[in-house]
Structure 1
Amino acid sequence: MATALVSSAGGLMAMLHEPHPALKLHALTYINTFLDNFWHEISTDITSLESLYEDESFEQQPLAALVVSKVFYHLGELNESLLYALRAQNLFDVSEDSEYAHTLLAKAIDEYALLRTKAAETKESETTIDPRLEAIVERMLEKCIVDGKFQQALGISLECQRLDKLEESIMRSENIMAMLTYCMGISQTFVNRRKYRHEVLKILVKIYRSLPSPDYLSISQCLMFLDDPGTVASILEILLKGDKEANLLAYQVAFDLYENERQPFLLKVRDYLPEPRVSSRFEVPEGTTNASQVTENDADHIPTSMDTTEGSDQPTASQSTEHHSSSTDHEDSQKYADKLSKLKKILTGETPIHLTLQFLYGHNRSDILILKTIKQSVELRNSVCHSATIYANALMHAGTTVDTFLRENLDWLSRATNWAKFSATAGLGVIHRGHLQQGRSLMAPYLPQNGAASGGSPFSEGGALYALGLIHANHGEGIKHFLIESLRSANNEVIQHGACLGLGLAALGTADEDIYDEIKSVLYSDNAVAGEAAGISMGLLMVGAGKDKDEEMLAYAHGTSHEKITRGLALGIALTVYGREEDADTLIEQLTRDQNPLLRYGGMYALALAYRGTANNKAIRHLLHFAVSDVSDDVRRTAVLALGFVLYSEPEQTPRIVSLLSESYNPHVRYGAALAVGISCAGTGLHEAISLLEPLTSDVVDFVRQGALIAMAMVLIQTTEAQESYVGTFRRQLEKIILDKHEDTMSKMGAILATGIIDAGGRNVTIALQSRTKHDRITAVIGMAVFSQYWYWYPLIYFLSLSFTPTAFIGLNHDLNMPKFTFLSNAKPSLFGYPPATAPPVAASAIKLPTAVLSTSARAKARAKKEYDSKHPPEKSMLEEASQSQANGSLKTSKPSKEEGKETDAMQVDFPAEKKSEVEQPSGEELHNPARVVPAQEKYIKFREGSRYVPIKAAPSGFVMLKDLEPSEPEVLVSSDAPASLAPGSSSGTNAGQPNIAGEEEPQPPQPFEYSA
């Protein structure tokens, strides 16, 4: 019998028609055993197997269903196969290690997840899910947990929306903290529905708070996404009442929250905290509570946001005895008030911005010779390149407060006219970004006096108001009232334009109704110039919160006849749906189906910002559809560009997705592909991104080359030639384009801007759309979105500075000062070092004319030189060092001739001395607080064992609180490297010393001196 089965299943199939049940069972058992070999033969008579299952008198119906399921599986009919697998009941073994079982389980989980999602979206009270399907999924989940595959169980639970099983898989795991971190990460990446993601976060908060030692850093991040500022404030209060370690944790929580740049949320947390004044209500003796005691005693008693504002002024028993409290209690109360004040300064951004300013000023490595080279190569008649140089200078010195280039080139700068003058003035806002206390004083020479036009240039005054917004971006509490007054009193469209942009930046995301009404009044004046800025500003003000405003803005966009206003409103509407994901689908559908291409263009931005960083498949498909099908080039270009925003959380996917689009016949699509890669892969130095962009930098169309050069600079920012050899090639390419007088204007503008971007922030910032906790940085994403609008309006280039973030490690002690602290970078110093400085210009006298030399004399000299070289090892000469510096990609100050270019190329070889220096280079280096730490360097950072200071959070970069293990010893602090004060006569950041962009030059007073005979 067995021999017959090996060759054919015909006999067994015939036995199925026998009347005796035992024969049928015997045949069915063997068919199940040999089905994988003879399924093609068995499938011809599958009806007999189905009939056997339907025969109620046959006791082994589940076995018949299992056989039918396997036959359908081999036929590729997975739906039918799963149906019969469910009918097989327990005979379908989820633990079976076979392709059939694995495929059917995946199908079952997908089907179950689809039904659960559909039920959640339609809000059905009773889900019509086959209980047998649910049983299979539950058996699979239980098997994963029993086998110790907790991450797999968590993933299935998350996909199937089984929060009960999700909690069980975390709590039964061996490492609960690791599972919580894993769940946090995948919930932000793979959960497409925002409402469901919030339900997951609530479960995580519940589990975190149930632990013996809650992770307050992660709890606070979850609560931020759940928009629960009251509970966050309560946690911070509890930590502030603890010992120094608990206090450090409170400050670290505040710094981590600040990094996500959610200004409205941070201000709510600040407002929920009590006022920092001495009061017996806050009497908590220092040291009575430590971090672990906070955990055990208070974790389950953290009040919700409803509790924190009630009863705060009610007298208590302790208050009645305040007059009898000791001086020690009074001191403790004062200490608590001081700590509360420090915490609020972190939340409002005052402390981190001040520290960032110190870092960028003290570590500034911008190369001003590069700008001088660009200035000399740009024709004065070319206003586009003239302005591009001003933009590049602003980006190159963003946040450093160094405006030396402007001061040294006042005559050249004064040639800027009209809107170029507007941009030149606004550029000061980028350079001095973060000077919150001195911002208004800094821009005073250019601002409208007393809220009205001062008789100066309206372009300078409008630019100054825009600059104030850039200085106070996302932190505008101190300046917004002045900007409102300036907007009210402005009767010039240019000043209104600058005031609207500045006000939108300063009040970013605050949804202030009064400010909205002021901007709306400018919009309704129906002036094209002012109305465009008003549309963008309304979007900035209502970022992610304009649910009732977007329809109003859309109605006006349909009614106005000005293209500028429609475009500004289209972008503004897109900003209002930021992060709303599926809640924005109705508005997105309305925009993308509009007959006006400008509004469809806005629909692409709406898709980009609503689904920013989610890698949502539905959004990607939608954008790809418009990228290849829309009749408007503007819409197609923006649809491709928008992919960069959706995919920036998974940058390695973007080059693959847009690779075919980068080869499109349509130059607008190619430009969009370049910018998409630049946006999503910014700061990564990703090799796939470089490979895609490289051919586009030599595209036949000028604006495609421009976009590719800008995108390449964004990708390569903070990437060294030691990491990626193409960096040197790219820098030389930029140099060649800038120095080439025959290069077209668009390409040259792109190269100039790329030069500013790749060396941005004094070579100490990178472009990051995500925080170090892998959550979106609102200001950065919004800034990048508005920057991409520079296609129509060059002054919006400055919005790119909002996406800059310092590449710094800043360690702070309990008093928020920087102690002297060292740590290690286990990588060669040159791997992440600053680019070499530009070589100085070669003196003209050093160039000699060629002289005639007899061949016999030349051969004799060659022999003599060879003999000398054999006896004396070569040393690197000054000429070699200069040529090596040039070969490293630094810009030269004059355009080389063809002969010089050939000679330079010939000298780009590995000198023996250079190789020797590489061998002798140390394998690591010691970094001193505060230190420059680029993203690629973070994995090499190690903290010393036995060090006096220990990070409260093992973070390789950012603001890190340091625990002092030797508190009784005196501390040595890092000397402050803050920018020069605004006192008259100072050389940086002074009113008297500001570059006179308006062109009315005033002589500066001489420096004080002493005369000695």
Structure 2
Amino acid sequence: MTVVTTATGLLAMLQEPHPTLKLHALKNLNVLVDKFWPEVSTKVSAIESLYEDDTFHEPELAALVASKVFYYLGELNDSLTYALGAGSLFDVSEDTEYVQTLVAKCVDEYILLSVKAAESNEKEKTVLDPRLVAIVERMLEKCIQDGKIQQAVGIALECRRLDTLEVAISRSENSSAMLSYCLRLSQTFVNNRAFRHEVLRLLVKSYQGLQQPDYLNVCQCLMFLDEPAEVAAILDKLLKGDKNDALLAYQVAFDLFENEYQKFLLNVRNLLPEPSSISKTAPSMVLNGGLSQDNRNGNGISAMTSSGPSAMDSDLTEPLLGNHAAEEAGDIAASSFAPVVERTPYAERLTKLKGILSGETPISLTLQFLYSHNRSDLLILKNIKQSVEMRNSVCHSATIYSNALMHAGTTVDTFLRENLDWLKRATNWAKFSATAGLGVIHRGHHQQGRSLMAPYLPQNGGTGGGSPYSEGGALYALGLIHANHGEGIKQFLLESLRNTSNEVIQHGACLGLGLAALGTADEEIYEDVKNVLYTDSAVAGEAAGIAMGLLMVGTASEKAAEMLAYAHDTQHEKIIRGLALGISLVLYGREEEADTLIEQMTGDQDPVLRYGGMYALAMAYRGTANNSAIRRLLHFAVSDVSDDVRRTAVLALGFVLCSEPEQAPRMVSLLSESYNAHVRYGAAMAVGISCAGSGSSEAISLLEPLTSDAVDFVRQGALIAMAMVLLQTTESREPRVASFRRQLEKIINDKHEETMSKMGAILAQGILDAGGRNVAIMLQSRTGHDRMTAVVGMVVFSQFWYWYPLIYFISLSFAPTAFIGLNEELRMPKFDFVSETKPSLFGYPPSVVPPAATSAVKLPTAVLSTSNRAKVRGAKREAEAKGGKVTVQDAGAGAEGAVGGDKESTSAVKDECSMDVEDGLEKKAVVAEPSSEVLNNPARVVPEQEKFIKFREDSRYTPLKLKRAPSGFVMLRDMTPSEPVELVSTDAPVSAGGAGAVAANTNAVAMVVEDNEVPPPEPFEYVP
């Protein structure tokens, strides 16, 4: 076989006049070009001329050879141009580096042109090269034929080819799994909002076309598309089905509730029919004041164990049962015989479903879980209180904030009740914050929220004679209690706002209204808040600006332009700052729709408005990891002249990257070493926001040096961010948790530590043990949708740099880490499952050990030699008195025996003690930690633990959807419905004593008195 060593002869044939010789040369050059391309490149012009020669019969072959030559020369654009000219000769299935590189280049070019075509106007419509389209289509078809469906789906999404996407899904072996994959990609990688909506509509169509439609994902897609009518129709259809369909409807409602989109949920609820219109009246005999048998079995009161004698009162049980206990308890008959409204099964289901959508049922169940599983360590707060100087108002307030966060949603205010005298030292705005802290502790106590705060709410259309700071704080507290579910309290807050001219009370009322009516776009409330803004009061105006943003969050309406115009008119920096933050909230989630207003804000001469522009970028592109948004934020982080703008630009990266937390530490690693302290602070907070609760090793390694930074406020931010990252992380998973807790304790106890870093350490303690150690910071729900309330709460919390009372907004981002299994009656049956990992890996952290009291230990008595001699003499005298003789040796032996007896007894005690110690050590060494743990419903299940959860195959109850994350509210299917149901008996938070206030004096903060006294023991007879 002849070995070819040069291409000179073939290149010479290109100059021959006969086309057959030229064709022969091209065919051989096509085979040899990868070896002899340096020689061929000298004659590439001749090859190009053959491609352009109309008389040459094989121009495609010339184009292919030219394409390969330009590829080896590194000219990829020219190479792609000639590859397109090669037509079908360019084989996309060929497994060579040349083909793979050009196909990738081809796809990138197609994506760029298709995106440009989609975004261009009709007049400037970009026309795609049909040759380019043909190559991409051949490549997509090859992926589908080879079974590489995921690649085809990814390319179809990037190329915006919905037709190819639909074909790929339909030809997939597992359509359900592929649809879930598409849904995940659409949420994370599709940057264009309009195209994402088109994808979601296609997914809804495909989901509904399955043999068994996946209504959980269908309703999630419809929620993204903001189509409540279709969701209501699906839920109504399921409720009319069998028991399993009803369970599925409840599960869908619980999953929608986790996304915390109040306006959408209320629209769905209102579109469903009213249960009263379905009920029918039937004759029934009811004793005067009694309950019908049906109601007695269904109201759930007997299943609850209360913590006080008043627990059975209807006003106390109603908020806890979550199924309209007062309504279902039956009306007290006016006579011995009264007609009773008989509820149809559909009406009962509808009532339960509406209870879920309104939030009544899930909130009451969450409240019950957080109360019964509370593991807060009061000794930590006691130590902080003892370490803080009484004159330091910042640390005093920080301790109150920390207590509120530590007991968020638990309704446990023991620390405050036990330290009323210490609490009274709060004055002015500190008193405002102390009162508002009760709203965090009692968040979710909707039915009794107003009565809890009654002693400090404005009375009779104005102030109640108390401190306006307490009254304003109480209105703020009501907003925190009813955050995102304020239907029952909005009117009261609105009247309180209208009936006062005090700017402090207006401040609290505006914040409360914004929280209660979050995202509802209520025009009436908006107008009243705007009137407060136009009074041009700095204190009230700042809260009004934030409240307007909270009301209109995500609407991107013309209200944002109106707010921006007033920000240019006013002279108060506080008002401008509040409006800047409010505008960013209005642009929440609007992505490219918000770019025009963002450009106005980021290009403004006022640094406060540019600061708001950074937040606007964060909110518009939250969780999208959008490259354009990241690039703009990084530009301002390194170039703006204002430290405020630079700090906020870096901090905003945390919101944009919250869906991809692993990217954030790498993105800000260089910024965390900046010479500018504000940039370092922003880097710390960005990592804390994006990696909250992840326990990320990269995040911890980045934050550790910043906790010892030379600047106090950088240390403050790093400590808070570290607490956010390590939330619900145990020492078994991350050994640095223990050292961080010791560091916090050291900073708090150090009298020479700066106030800012000490405040950061105190807040970090509260965040580490937030919600009784049963909550995590979650900016996204388990279904991948961003939790609007959580993101908004975290944004406003980051504003505490300027206004400490806004610290409480972080409680909006708390989500209980619980598995709550429910049956068809929305009650918790006894049910257990297995966590296949060591209990210490995800267990509660150990409680702080109180300092041990010094106990007197009995030591062996020292025996002197003189005592021995005295005993010998005494023994000798006794023997002589009896008439006997005693030798010195005997006497010595007797004395020694006496002493030896003491020694023996002492050594025996020693041996016994040592045996105990040794036995204890031996037991610790021998009894190894179990490799799994049985958990009972309801149980604490942290996010990282979910992959270790397994359900028993022989269990009576099984989750409705096994593929769903094993946490949150889980509907359980009863496999043996004929057997009697055994329900879980748990403690429920109950208020006693009327309004529940501790009336120590007029300045004391209202507290809930819990009736938690241990009952006396039963009579017994002692038998010795």
TM-score range, shorter chain: 0.7 to 0.9
Aligned partner of 2:933 in structure 1 is 925
On the 8 A contact 1:407/1:994 being kept in 2, the answer is no
On the 8 A contact 2:996/2:1008 being kept in 1, the answer is no
How far residue 995 of structure 1 moved from its aligned partner, in angstroms, is: 7.3
Q: Distance in 2 between matches of 1:189 and 1:777?
A: 15
Deviates more, 1:72-81 or 1:930-939: 72-81
On the 8 A contact 2:434/2:1005 being kept in 1, the answer is no
Aligned partner of 1:63 in structure 2 is 61
Shift of the 39–874 alpha-carbon distance from structure 1 to 2, 3 Å rule, reads farther
SS of 1:639's equivalent? Answer: helix
Q: Distance in 1 between matches of 2:347 and 2:713?
A: 57
On the 8 A contact 1:370/1:838 being kept in 2, the answer is yes
Aligned partner of 1:938 in structure 2 is 946
| Mapping of residues 559-638 of structure 1, within 5 Å | 559-638=569-648
SS of 1:742's equivalent? Answer: coil
Matched, 1:700 2:710: yes
Structure 1 counterpart of 2:996, from 991, 997, 1000:
991
How far residue 690 of structure 1 moved from its aligned partner, in angstroms, is: 0.5
Aligned partner of 1:220 in structure 2 is 219
On the 8 A contact 1:410/1:997 being kept in 2, the answer is no
Shift of the 913–49 alpha-carbon distance from structure 1 to 2, 3 Å rule, reads farther
SS of 1:438's equivalent? Answer: helix
How far residue 981 of structure 1 moved from its aligned partner, in angstroms, is: 3.1
Matched, 1:211 2:210: yes
On the 8 A contact 2:998/2:1007 being kept in 1, the answer is no
Letter in 2 for 1:147: D
Question: Which whole-Å deviations, capped at 9, do the CAs of 1:406-436 have from their partners, x for residues lacking one?
Answer: 0000010000000000000000000000001
Aligned partner of 2:18 in structure 1 is 20
Matched, 1:947 2:946: no
On the 8 A contact 1:875/1:913 being kept in 2, the answer is no
Structure 2 counterpart of 1:535, from 545, 558, 573:
545
Letter in 2 for 1:20: H
Matched, 1:338 2:343: no
Aligned partner of 2:901 in structure 1 is none
Deviates more, 1:330-339 or 1:436-445: 330-339
SS of 2:776's equivalent? Answer: strand
Structure 2 counterpart of 1:549, from 545, 549, 559:
559
On the 8 A contact 1:579/1:611 being kept in 2, the answer is yes
Using structure 2 for the length normalisation, give the TM-score.
Answer: 0.86
Q: Distance in 2 between matches of 1:766 and 1:817?
A: 24
Letter in 2 for 1:48: A
Letter in 1 for 2:187: Q
Structure 2 counterpart of 1:970, from 971, 975, 980:
980
Aligned partner of 1:46 in structure 2 is 44
Structure 2 counterpart of 1:119, from 113, 117, 120:
117
On the 8 A contact 1:387/1:424 being kept in 2, the answer is yes
Question: Which whole-Å deviations, capped at 9, do the CAs of 1:689-736 have from their partners, x for residues lacking one?
Answer: 111111111111100000000000000000000011111111111111
Matched, 1:757 2:767: yes
Q: Distance in 2 between matches of 1:592 and 1:456?
A: 44
Question: Which whole-Å deviations, capped at 9, do the CAs of 1:878-928 have from their partners, x for residues lacking one?
Answer: 9x99xxxxxxxxxxxxxxxxxxxxxxxxxxxxx8765544xx111101100
How far residue 950 of structure 1 moved from its aligned partner, in angstroms, is: 1.0
On the 8 A contact 1:282/1:336 being kept in 2, the answer is no
Letter in 1 for 2:50: L
Q: Distance in 2 between matches of 1:186 and 1:578?
A: 21
Shift of the 274–672 alpha-carbon distance from structure 1 to 2, 3 Å rule, reads same
Identity %: 71
Q: Distance in 2 between matches of 1:498 and 1:794?
A: 13
How far residue 255 of structure 1 moved from its aligned partner, in angstroms, is: 0.3
Question: Which whole-Å deviations, capped at 9, do the CAs of 1:439-482 have from their partners, x for residues lacking one?
Answer: 00011111111331011000000000000000000000000000
On the 8 A contact 1:460/1:997 being kept in 2, the answer is no
Q: Distance in 2 between matches of 1:464 and 1:829?
A: 41
How far residue 580 of structure 1 moved from its aligned partner, in angstroms, is: 0.2
Question: Which whole-Å deviations, capped at 9, do the CAs of 1:336-363 have from their partners, x for residues lacking one?
Answer: 1111111001001000000000000000
How far residue 538 of structure 1 moved from its aligned partner, in angstroms, is: 0.3
Q: Distance in 2 between matches of 1:147 and 1:810?
A: 44
Q: Distance in 2 between matches of 1:139 and 1:38?
A: 30
Letter in 2 for 1:789: Q
Q: Distance in 1 between matches of 2:418 and 2:73?
A: 79
Question: Which whole-Å deviations, capped at 9, do the CAs of 1:759-799 have from their partners, x for residues lacking one?
Answer: 00000000000001011000000000000000000000000
Letter in 2 for 1:925: E
On the 8 A contact 1:395/1:756 being kept in 2, the answer is yes
Letter in 1 for 2:774: N
Aligned partner of 2:275 in structure 1 is 276
SS of 1:277's equivalent? Answer: helix
Aligned partner of 1:83 in structure 2 is 81
Shift of the 689–17 alpha-carbon distance from structure 1 to 2, 3 Å rule, reads same
Aligned partner of 1:327 in structure 2 is none
Aligned partner of 1:383 in structure 2 is 393
Q: Distance in 1 between matches of 2:52 and 2:736?
A: 69
Letter in 2 for 1:556: Y
SS of 1:437's equivalent? Answer: helix
SS of 2:815's equivalent? Answer: strand
How far residue 848 of structure 1 moved from its aligned partner, in angstroms, is: 13
Q: Distance in 2 between matches of 1:602 and 1:826?
A: 47
SS of 2:106's equivalent? Answer: helix
Q: Distance in 1 between matches of 2:603 and 2:463?
A: 43
Deviates more, 1:566-575 or 1:101-110: 101-110
On the 8 A contact 2:438/2:1007 being kept in 1, the answer is no
Shift of the 523–877 alpha-carbon distance from structure 1 to 2, 3 Å rule, reads farther
Q: Distance in 1 between matches of 2:739 and 2:1014?
A: 47
Question: Which whole-Å deviations, capped at 9, do the CAs of 1:99-128 have from their partners, x for residues lacking one?
Answer: 111111111111111111111112438640
SS of 2:662's equivalent? Answer: helix
Q: Distance in 2 between matches of 1:43 and 1:875?
A: 90
| Mapping of residues 762-801 of structure 1, within 5 Å | 762-801=772-811
Letter in 2 for 1:444: A
Aligned partner of 1:840 in structure 2 is 850
Q: Distance in 2 between matches of 1:970 and 1:873?
A: 52
Q: Distance in 1 between matches of 2:174 and 2:525?
A: 49
On the 8 A contact 1:591/1:602 being kept in 2, the answer is yes
Q: Distance in 1 between matches of 2:795 and 2:138?
A: 47
Aligned partner of 1:140 in structure 2 is 139
Letter in 2 for 1:940: F
Shift of the 1000–823 alpha-carbon distance from structure 1 to 2, 3 Å rule, reads closer
Letter in 2 for 1:686: S
On the 8 A contact 1:278/1:334 being kept in 2, the answer is no
SS of 2:987's equivalent? Answer: coil
Question: Which whole-Å deviations, capped at 9, do the CAs of 1:257-303 have from their partners, x for residues lacking one?
Answer: 000000000000011000112538999xxxxxxxxxxxxxxxxxxxx
On the 8 A contact 2:997/2:1006 being kept in 1, the answer is no
On the 8 A contact 1:674/1:696 being kept in 2, the answer is yes
Aligned partner of 1:240 in structure 2 is 239
Q: Distance in 2 between matches of 1:586 and 1:359?
A: 45
| Mapping of residues 395-544 of structure 1, within 5 Å | 395-544=405-554
Matched, 1:30 2:28: yes
Q: Distance in 1 between matches of 2:593 and 2:658?
A: 21
SS of 1:445's equivalent? Answer: helix
Aligned partner of 1:288 in structure 2 is none
Aligned partner of 1:291 in structure 2 is none
Q: Distance in 2 between matches of 1:246 and 1:189?
A: 31
Q: Distance in 2 between matches of 1:1003 and 1:476?
A: 21
Using structure 1 for the length normalisation, give the TM-score.
Answer: 0.87
Aligned residues between the structures? 911
Letter in 2 for 1:91: L
RMSD over aligned Cα, in angstroms?
A: 2.7
Q: Distance in 1 between matches of 2:406 and 2:757?
A: 19
Matched, 1:960 2:966: no
SS of 2:766's equivalent? Answer: helix
How far residue 332 of structure 1 moved from its aligned partner, in angstroms, is: 9.0
